[in-house]
Amino acid sequence: MGERKAPAKGSGSRGRLFGLGLTAGVLAAFIAARRVSTRQRMPNLAVWQRALAEQRGETSAARLAVLAQDRYDELFAARPRPAKRALRFHVERGILPGLAVYQALLEETGDRQAALAEMESLSVWTLPGVRRLMPLLGRLPDPFPVFRRLHRWIMRFGFPAEGWEIEPVEDSEDCIAFNVRRCFYLDTLTTHGAPELTPTFCARDDALFALLPASITWDRTMTLGRGDDRCDFRWCRAATPGPTPDRRSA
């Protein structure tokens, strides 16, 4: 039999090191893949990215979308978990996505006022799905009764007393009016150090209710997010607006 050659000096060590390196690489890839597969995708991320692309171009929008997703991951991991399901929905699908995009813009621009102005225009793109009902209301001969019932349902299930302090003013066949004395969005954003972002959500309300049919008027002259002591919501039949509540009352 031929003489067996001894392995070159150090070859065993190199083999072991290579094996360890390969194992570590596979493990790192598995962890990274697991993180990507289990991360919480930011709601409406594609919508935010399209809106950013309209204003900034595709490249900048893609970069900001990645940054916003990273911010959302951090915010989501440390998010508050209120007992009410509706409040958790507002946190995870309403407040944190907007805050994540705002933080991404701040990191990109370093200009708070510019970021806020851009957020106000961007937030209109992410109006809730209820906006699809607005054109349907316009097809009705008298949409206000339907709007009134829909409004009651949304307020009952979507805006619980644990998050909002609501002071009724009027609920009649001609008008719906109430004041908001405490706002869950403002409270949550204040906790996150960004109360200045709240008016962008107020602007989304304005954009949404501007879609109402002409037979329903929408009016709000004050908001907590813009520094007033209340938000004075009011919807009326256009033909019979009814008496104007005394907004000066405490």
Full DSSP string of 8-55: PTTHHHHHHHHHHHHHHHHHHHHHHHHHHHHS-PPTTHHHHHHHHHHH
- pTM, entire model: 0.79
Q: Which amino acid is at 195?
A: P
Q: Are 119 and 106 in contact (CB under 8 A)?
A: no
The pLDDT-based confidence of 217 (bands split at 50, 70, 90) is: very high
The pLDDT-based confidence of 26 (bands split at 50, 70, 90) is: very low
- Other Cβ atoms closer than 10 A to 82: 17
Alpha-carbon torsion (207, 107, 183, 40), positive or negative: positive
Partnered with residue 237 across adjacent β-strands are 216
The pLDDT-based confidence of 134 (bands split at 50, 70, 90) is: confident
Residue 75 or residue 5, greater confidence: 75
Report the pLDDT averaged over residues 69-93.
Answer: 96
Report the pLDDT averaged over residues 92-102.
Answer: 96
The pLDDT-based confidence of 135 (bands split at 50, 70, 90) is: confident
**Quick one: how far is CA 51 from the chain centroid?**
14
Give the tokens for residue 182.
């405490």
Q: Among 124-128, 230-234, 239-243, where is mean pLDDT lowest?
A: 239-243
